[in-house]
Amino acid sequence: MKDDETKIQEIKEVLREFVKERDWEQFHTEKDLAIAISVEAAEILEHFRFRNGEDLREYLANDSNKKEIAHELADVMAFLVRLADKTGIDLSESFKEKHEINQSRFSVEEAKGKGWMDVKKKEKQK
């Protein structure tokens, strides 16, 4: 599977079959999937904790470290896709809608070169 060749629906189907074969549907409640997303996202953070600058660049240049991060990202994606599937949410449509909202909330003129918090602060002052 490659990003430019794979549809989210295909991933949903692969995961559905994986879960069905193992009788894991009982463990994949919406609550537990949401928790799993958070836990797996925290595991990504472990790779970055206490690393900055050159140390971080060296860490990320190591193929083994990068592979571990890739696997954690895949875990987050798997649980995210499962949660979307369980709740009947179309991720592509949701992304499109949220992206349009963000485009209007964070115009290029107001946001270019500024951190998210700076733009949010200005938004609150309006």
Written as six digits, the tokens of 118 are 């700076």
pLDDT tens column, 83-95: 999 999 999 999 9
pLDDT tens column, 69-118: 999 999 999 999 999 999 999 999 999 999 999 999 888 988 899 887 78
**Count of beta carbons in the 10 Å neighbourhood of residue 35:** 12
**Count of beta carbons in the 10 Å neighbourhood of residue 40:** 19
Beta strands in 12-102 (DSSP E): none
Which uninterrupted H or E stretch holds 45? helix 30-46
Kindly report the pTM of this predicted structure: 0.86
Q: Compute the radius of gyration of the chain from its Cα atoms.
A: 18
Q: Residue 27 pLDDT more than 90?
A: yes
> Residues 62-70: what's their mean pLDDT?
98
* Residue bearing the bigger pLDDT, 111 or 55: 55
Integer Cα distance of 47 and 72 in angstroms: 10
Domains and CATH numbers, the chain: 1-89 (1.10.287.1080), 90-126 (no CATH)
Written as six digits, the tokens of 119 are 């733009």
**Count of beta carbons in the 10 Å neighbourhood of residue 96:** 11
Integer Cα distance of 16 and 4 in angstroms: 22
